[in-house]
Structure 1
Amino acid sequence: MNVDVRDIRAELEAYEWTRATWTSSYLLACSPFRRDEDPSFYVYFEGTATARAGYWGDRGTGETGAFTELIARLNGIGYDEAAEYLRLKYGENESGYDLPALRIPKLSTEAAVFKPLDIAILDPFKFRSPYLGRRAISEAVQRLCRIGYDTSRKAVTIPIFSGDGTLANVKYRRVDTKLFWYERGGRPIRELLFGLDVIYRQQCRRAVIVEAEIDAMTIMTAGVPAIATMGSAFNRYKADLIRRSSIEELIVLRDNDAAGRKWQRAIIAELRSNVKVSVATVNSRYKDVNQAATESSVDQVASYVIRRRTLREIKIMLGA
């Protein structure tokens, strides 16, 4: 895959790594694929005498592989899908190699400073796909979130704004597959919350927090403010964004899986001393709130929020 990227590190920063060490030439962290107490997983940013840039290995298992395989495994998709993801994000394959030469700048010890993206990059996407409408997202909410459509790549465009309204990143979601990717040069997703700009604009004091953007838009369609962590990882940066916002009550609405339970516990542990936290649950028949809305109704989604439970009623979740 002919990925011409300024910094392969930026691609890997979209994922959560445990006990990570970032250097100018490699990433060392605990394996994302198994229980790993000591960092034994590595990815090269630069080519070596025995491996090309983007190659990875696990000293604990002896596994090694190329970059496309790593992207496939991190996203739980097939190799061909991962290759398509890289092609859509970085362009056509011209070399025939799994990962050709990368242009890697030397990394500074200073924290990266991300400038807002030019809002004009959204101008080519002022179209509408029926995809989100079929997923129970109203037209009003799509306008509120400034959703668009990339006709050439058949992808819904989901802008992600900072609290001050500046454009921080854009998610591209194919309408015919599960592939998605983010705008090159955008702020890392680990430092963002989808929907935060709406919270600031409307000075919302109560909001639902969910994992996925489409779930947040489902809640908005039900008439309730919502934000999304854009994944099942929750960190202190995202927590600080909530602390600095107008939110006084946060309703946690998780997916019905193990990752969702872990995500919920992390949010409760991090924020219970700062805001009023309550928990809502989706009927176990459904994986998440959007599936509930699509297969049942948006009104039922609203009822999940109304039936939320306070922390006093869920002491077991806090280990009490």
Structure 2
Amino acid sequence: MITLHGQEIEVDIASELRRYDWNRPRWTDTKLLACSPFRPERHPSFAIRLDTGVWIDSGGDDPEWKKGNLPRLLSWLRNETYEETVDYLLTQYGVHTTDVDSLQLKMRPLSMETESWTPLHPDILVPYRYRHPYLEKQRGLSEQIQRFFNIGYDRKRKAITFPWQDRSGHLVNIKYRSVRDKIFWYQTGGQPIRNHIYGLNHVIRLQKELMFIVESEIDAITLWEAGYGAVALGGAHLSARQRDLIIQSPVKEVVIATDNDLPGRRLADSIIRQLGGYLSLRVMEIPEYAKDVNELPRDVLLHACQSLRDVELGRPRDSVLAPFIAVHRP
């Protein structure tokens, strides 16, 4: 049982956690013990209670990430803002009471409205006009491509800054990624990530008809560096708004290049279900030794980008998941 906005809700915490890959997990009736998801480690020092969602990362150095609640952990795992995760939990598990007589069937049309939120002022990026060697030395992203995406560095908090823009190019949020570990967070007051797609403004401006879809900003930038238009959803979820933005774009063909893990396969399946029939869909196969496109050597990445598999609509729903589940079935 957890409390959100003053409402006590019964969350299936174990089910939520099993959606993700854990390093050296050990499940008991009351808690999960595993290696920290926030940083590399060999010996498990992370524990979360399955009744309350309270977690402790006893081996962590950052005091802000030594302990926390379920929404904070899930916001990290889902790669979204804290507020978006709270909305998800309330929608998924909250108690809703409605006057049955007042219910009406509503068809959701393709949303054509523009974002009603106020964009962030571009000057908010001025303090981050610095460069950290992490992306070039460890992720292989050149200075030129970092300038193209206006990547910066927060020297005070030691974090790479990834500006998120709406389809028109207005600044709507900033993702901060620590260079010391895997921790990230978003700009206070920024718009929900689920309402936008990273890199879509460039796809629209350059009138790209073929577009790769990935999960993280770094993966999208990696594909642009290789010469291919790409966007990032910001996590392993395709929202209804993101779906509409893709359909409204000039893109005619989508290549699914999600992470090579269970959440990534689930996302690929979701993309096929939501975009099938609207656009031509293909899948890029990532070799088993790599988790995502950024981990591929340049020659392997280029070959994979040219060796795509067509998606045949009408196949069983779990057709993308099946090979992965067969290998990883507990």
Quick check: TM above 0.5? Answer: yes
1:137: how far off? Answer: 1.1
Which residue of the partner structure matches residue 187 of structure 2? 183
Relative distance call for 1:69 and 1:131 in structure 2 (3 A) is same
Task: Indicate if the aligned counterparts of 1:209 and 1:228 stay in contact, CA closer than 8 A.
Answer: yes
Distance 2:15 2:313 in 1: 34
Q: TM-score, normalised by structure 2?
A: 0.66
The Cα of 1:197 is off from its aligned counterpart by 1.1
Deviation at 1:202, TM superposition (A): 0.7
Q: Does the CA contact (< 8 Å) of 1:209 and 1:251 recur in 2?
A: yes
Aligned counterparts of 2:189 and 2:75: Cα–Cα separation in 1:
20
Aligned counterpart for 1:31 among listed residues 12, 20, 34: 12
> Does the 8 A contact of 2:13 with 2:51 survive in 1?
no
Matched, 1:286 2:275: no
Q: Which residue, out of 135, 143, 147, partners 2:147?
A: 143
Please give the alpha-carbon distance, in whole angstroms, between the structure 1 residues aligned to 2:4 and 2:158: 36
Alignment-derived partner of residue 309 in structure 2? 309
1:121 corresponds, among 115, 120, 124, to 124
Q: Distance in 2 between matches of 1:29 and 1:273?
A: 37
Which of 274, 277, 280 is the matching residue for 2:281?
Answer: 277
Counterpart pick for 1:194 among 189, 198, 213? 198
Change (3 A) 1:246 1:260: same
Return 187-196 or 25-34, whichever deviates more.
25-34
RMSD (CA atoms):
3.0
2:104 matches 1:132: no
Query: Is 2:153–2:160's contact at 8 Å kept on the other side of the alignment?
Result: yes
Q: Return the alpha-carbon distance in structure 2 between the equivalents of residues 177 and 23 of structure 1.
A: 28
What SS does the corresponding residue of 2:264 show, helix, strand or coil?
helix
* Contact 1:254 1:281 (C-alpha < 8 Å) held by counterparts: no
- Please report how far the alpha carbon of residue 23 of structure 1 lies from its aligned counterpart in structure 2 after TM superposition: 8.5
The structure 2 residue matched to 1:167, chosen from 171, 175, 183, is 171
1:223 alignment counterpart: 227
- Residue in 1 that maps onto 2:90: none
Would the alpha carbon gap of residues 23 and 64 (structure 1) be closer, same or farther in structure 2, given more than 3 Å must change? closer
Separation in 1 of the partners of 2:72 and 2:129? 31
Name the CA shift for 1:29/1:270 in 2 (closer, same or farther; >3 Å).
Answer: farther
2:268 is equivalent to residue 237 of structure 1? no
- 1:257 aligns with 261
Cα deviation, residue 256, structure 1: 1.2
Specify whether residues 205 and 76 from structure 1 end up closer, same or farther in structure 2 by C-alpha distance, changes over 3 A only: closer
Distance 1:177 1:317, change over 3 A: same
- Render the CA deviation track for 1:63-108: whole Å, top value 9, x for unaligned: 364882335632679xxxxxxxx9xxxxxxxxxxxxxxxxxxxxxx
Structure 2 gaps, min length 5 = 18-48, 56-66, 83-114, 321-330
Distance 2:51 2:181 in 1: 32
Distance 2:173 2:156 in 1: 19
Give the fraction of aligned pairs with identical amino acids, expressed as a percent.
33
Q: 1:76 and 1:212, CA in 2 relative to 1: closer, same or farther beyond 3 A?
A: closer
Q: CA deviation at 1:233?
A: 1.1
Letter in 1 for 2:203: I
Structure 1 segments unaligned to the other structure (5+ residues): 1-21, 37-57, 78-85, 87-111
Secondary structure of the structure 2 residue equivalent to 1:312:
coil
Instruction: Quote the offset at 1:26 in angstroms.
Output: 3.8
Question: How has the CA–CA distance of structure 1 residues 317 and 289 changed in structure 2, closer, same or farther, with 3 Å as cutoff?
Answer: farther
**What per-residue deviation string (whole Å, max 9, x for no partner) do you get for residues 7-38 of structure 1?**
xxxxxxxxxxxxxxx986448474354269xx
1:69 aligns with: 69
Give the conservation status (yes or no) of the 8 Å contact 1:211–1:228. Answer: yes
Corresponding letter in the other structure for 1:308: L
Q: Return the offset for 1:113.
A: 4.3
C-alpha displacement of 1:114: 1.8
* TM-aligned CA deviation for residue 62 of structure 1: 4.2
Q: In structure 2, how many angstroms separate the alpha carbons of the residues matched to 1:76 and 1:23? A: 17
CA distance in 2, matches of 1:286, 1:71: 29
